[in-house]
Amino acid sequence: MFAVSTPSTACPKPPMRGIVRGLAVAALLLSLAAATIGMRAAEPPGDSMIVLVHVPAAWLALLLYGAAVVGAVGTLQSPGRLPAGLLAAIAPVGAAAAFLSIWTGLTSHYARGAWWGWDARLVCGLVLLLLFAGLIALRSGMEEPDRAERAGAVLVLTGALNIPIIYLSVDWWQTLHERAAASVGRSPLVIGAMALMTMAFCMYAGAVVLARLQAFQREREAGTRNFGSARAEGGSARTPAKEQQ
């Protein structure tokens, strides 16, 4: 009469695992194709390869933060409708993308003879990295996941002002940074390679975020089962937060 949850129901479904693996394999193939095309471009190999990583990483960091903004709005307005741990799943991936964009941007400056100079877009990228790091710190520093998600949502919405600043920073300040990556006289091969690499980055990021969401879901379901078992036996619930104390 009553549906009893079994350990198998808490495991990720095979189709989801297939999606994660498929995205990872597709990302690898696209990145190899992009690298091959980039090496055949007429531009200097070093500069073209830096751009192939820098531009997709910067675009991915902005895309992930935009997804985090949508998740933050949903977390505050409609709790429970979005997957638990969505912001926590996005944060490390976005931080890695932001760090990669900053590092390759500094490398590009070094190739032009200036390792570091005032660059508004790189500084805004550093702010983006700190925002993602703040999300990670909130998740690890708060014992209650729901409370951490709400605090992270407020942080994300507060930092959303940085997105238009990143976009307009090149026009507001005269720095070493180029304008739109596809409109500075680059060859069609480089532009096509950047598009392929961006797709590869997005697919790999999607695979990692989905895998992290599965892990958070299993963790929450395991905590719920432990809580229900403890109540049924008349004892106190041992949740992961209490076990750490």
**Residue 15 or 192, more confident:** 192
Q: What six digits make up the tokens of 106? A: 């500094």
Task: Please give the residue that has the higher pLDDT: either 175 or 200.
Answer: 200
Q: Which of 4-8, 42-46, 57-61 has the highest mean pLDDT?
A: 57-61
pLDDT surpassing 60 at residue 243: no
> Would residue 240 count as lying in a domain?
no
Residue 114 has a CB neighbour count (10 Å cut-off) of 12
Other beta carbons less than 10 A from residue 83's beta carbon: 16
Phi, psi of 203 (to 5 degrees): -65, -40
Number of domains in the chain: 1
Among 23, 136, 129, which Cα is nearest to 87's? 136
Which tokens sit at 57?
A: 């990483």
Range(s) of the domain holding residue 30: 14-226
Q: Which helix (H) or strand (E) holds 151?
A: helix 145-159
78 located within any domain: yes
Contacts of 239 (CB under 8 A, 6+ apart): 223, 226, 227
Higher pLDDT, 129 or 39: 129
For residue 161, is it within any domain? Answer: yes
Q: How far apart are CA 228 and CA 234, in angstroms?
A: 10
Residue 243 lies in a domain: no
Residue 233 lies in a domain: no
DSSP label of 234 = T
pLDDT digits (tens, 9 = 90+) for 52-106: 788 889 889 999 999 999 989 988 887 777 776 888 899 999 999 999 988 888 8
Looking at per-residue confidence, does 41 or 182 come out higher? 41
166-to-66, 102, 123, 172, 223 alpha-carbon distances in Å:
13, 13, 9, 10, 40
Q: What is the total residue count of the chain? A: 245
Residue 57 lies in a domain: yes
> Residue 242 domain-assigned?
no
| 74 touches 81 (CB < 8 A) | yes
pLDDT at 21: 79
What pLDDT shows up at residue 230? Answer: 46
Element (H, E) at 12: none
**Is 84 inside any structural domain?**
yes
Which tens digit of pLDDT belongs to each residue from 108-160? Answer: 766 666 666 667 788 888 999 999 999 999 888 887 877 888 888 999 999 99
Looking at residue 67, its amino acid is A
> Which pTM was predicted?
0.74
Residue 32 CA to residue 30 CA, distance in Å, equals: 5
What pLDDT is attached to residue 7? 40
pLDDT bin (cut points 50, 70, 90) of residue 44 is low
Amino acid at position 36, single letter: T
pLDDT in tens, 177-200: 666 555 545 667 777 777 888 888
What is the 3 state secondary structure string of 85-140? CHHHHHHHHHHHHHHHHHHHHHHHHHHCCCCCCCCHHHHHHHHHHHHHHHHHHHHH
Range with the poorest average pLDDT among 4-13, 41-50, 121-130: 4-13
As a whole number of angstroms, the distance between CA 84 and CA 93 comes to 17
For the record, the structure tokens of 225 come out as: 């089962």
Q: What's residue 94's pLDDT?
A: 94
